[in-house]
Amino acid sequence: MKALPIVGEWGVGSGPPRSAPELRVAPDGTTPHSPRLATLVRAALLADVPGLEALQAPYVATGDLLPRSNYDLCRHIKEWVVVAEPADGAIVGCGALKIYSGELAEVAGLAVRRDRQGVGLGRALLEALLTQARDHGLARVFALTRKPEFFLRLGFVPAEKEQFPEKVWADCARCPRQNCCDEIAVALRL
C-alpha cells in the first residue's frame, strides 16, 4: 500500500498544482503546516473501531452521519483512514472510500472531532481518500452530505443522486432516512 500523506502535505495526488490552503490556527496554536502538528493520516486498524464509534457518535446523533455498527466497521475496516493523536492514539478524524465499480467510489463517513475542526484535518483525510481513488484508477468519486460547502470548496460539483444507481441500490434502499433524505450529492472527476 502506498504511504498516505501527512497532514499539511497539500497538492498530494495527480492533477494541477494547487495554491497553499488558507492557514488557520487551532486552539493549541498549531496550523496544518506546523511541525508541531504531528498528526498522521493512516489506514485504519481493527483496534481503531472503538475510536471510530466514539468519533462518529455525536454526528450520528445530529443526523450528519448514518449509523454504522461495530460489525460493519470491522468488516469494512480496509476502506477507512484515520487521523490519530500521536500522544495517545485518540482518533480525531476519519473517512472511508467505498468502491462501487471500476469507475466509481463514494467518500463516506468523513468526520473530524469538533475541537480539531478548521485546521486542515478534513482536507487531509479527503486528499488521502482521493489519492487512494486515483491509485485504484477510478474515474469519479461522489459523496452524499449535509455539508456540501466543504466538498464544493475542494473541487466537487453538485450532482443528482440518480447518477449513482450503485449507491441507491446498495445503501439507500436500506437507509432509515430513505423517504426523507436531506443529503446533497456532490461529485468529482479524477
DSSP conformation letters of 17-65: --PPPPP---TTS--TT-TT---EEEE--GGGHHHHHHHHHHHHHHTSS
pLDDT score of 147 more than 60: yes
Work out the mean pLDDT of the chain and round it to a whole number: 80
CA-CA distance, 86 to 23, in Å (whole number)? 21
Mean pLDDT confidence for 46-54:
97
Tell me: the pLDDT tens digits for 103-118? 999 999 999 999 999 9
At 72, list the grid cell.
Answer: 460493519
Tell me: the pLDDT tens digits for 57-92? 999 999 888 889 999 999 999 999 999 988 898 999
Looking at the whole model, is its pTM more than 0.85?
A: no
Mean pLDDT confidence for 166-183:
66
| Domains (range + CATH), the chain | 40-141 (3.40.630.30)
CA-CA distance, 185 to 63, in Å (whole number)? 16
